Structure 1
Amino acid sequence: MSEFYNNADLGPANMGQTFTNDLKNYLIQNSNLSVITDNGELQMDGEITDFRLTPIAPVATGDQGQFSNASSTRLTITIKVTYVNTLDETMSFKDKSFSFYQDFTNDQNFTDIEERLTKDIFARLVNDIYNASVANW
């Protein structure tokens, strides 16, 4: 398995390495596969393509001349994966996107909760990638 690279504009600098380690650990714990760096029967690589904060749940101010604020924000992370099954090419896929999000209220400081939100999103993405690739092996 190759390291997943962080090609997102935002997000922690170590995000690619953290995701790669999370995925490797999940594969080791939930299958009888061994993770190697080269020439495996199953090959996977990819990149983090998006780390985005989007305001949601607008709150009306009652004044048409004033901008509305959002009471919540959504953190979305998207990962693009290429998976090659050398034993059954029909199971392979190229540049498949996986995305998940977590919402949080704006009374929370994003810096304080970023690590937890990212960890929760990564857990879901790892599970989705596993189910789309290795779970049928």
Structure 2
Amino acid sequence: MNKNVLLLFVPLLFLISSCGVYSLNGGSVGSLKTVNVMFFENVAPLVVNNLSQSFTQALQDRIRNQTRLSTVRGDADATFEGRITGYTIAPTVLPAANSSTAPIANTNRLTITVSVKYTNSLDPKLSFEQSFSRYQDYQGDIGTKEQTLIQAINVQLTEDIFNKAFANW
């Protein structure tokens, strides 16, 4: 029995590895070999000093870690460019238990919005221009939590962008 399973499994491994364009995370880069992730400028009304750098780096890291693409500057098979267009902090208001009292805000919401233009020069029909927005709720003052919240939102945003570009979601 084990020998039969092995005989079926080994050819399957060769078949999967020979394709070379699919990864186990669901991303397909096709015949792309290079990608250029340009710097995402922060043009949001509320500016955080390191947000542009941390978002751009997070997107580069996701692509580097989940594809076989080489990151280059200048001409590339695919290019990501855009800007951070929104950075907002707003209370999340919950209705008060007693309808005669005012609503209370026990959490706040940090939302980041990124406008992305993805250009696939080898297959232009896969190119897109779209805004992506994600948020994290938190309690209390944002001061000590801000960088952790930004990191968590960057993970979500880069996953959405990666999936749109390489998983056709």
Question: TM class, shorter-chain normalised?
Answer: 0.7 to 0.9
TM-score (norm: length of structure 1): 0.87
Which residue pairs with 1:6 in the alignment? 42
Greater share of strand: 1
Deviation at 1:69?
3.4
Deviation at 1:13?
1.2
Which residue, out of 62, 81, 94, partners 1:45?
A: 81
Which residue pairs with 1:126 in the alignment? 158
**In structure 2, C-alpha distance between the alignment counterparts of 1:7 and 1:61, rounded to whole Å:** 39
Which residue identity is paired with 2:123? D
Question: Where does the alignment leave 5 or more consecutive residues of structure 1 unmatched?
Answer: none
**In structure 2, C-alpha distance between the alignment counterparts of 1:63 and 1:84, rounded to whole Å:** 52
**In structure 1, C-alpha distance between the alignment counterparts of 2:97 and 2:142, rounded to whole Å:** 23
Which residue identity is paired with 1:14? N
Which residue, out of 112, 123, 127, partners 2:144?
A: 112
Q: How do residues 1-137 of structure 1 correspond to structure 2 at under 5 angstroms?
A: 1-58=37-94, 60=96, 68-94=103-129, 96-105=130-139, 108-135=140-167
Question: Where does the alignment leave 5 or more consecutive residues of structure 2 unmatched?
Answer: 1-36
Q: Quickly say closer, same or farther: Cα 1:71–1:37, change in 2 above 3 A.
A: same
- Aligned sequence identity (%): 33
Q: Quickly say closer, same or farther: Cα 1:32–1:63, change in 2 above 3 A.
A: closer
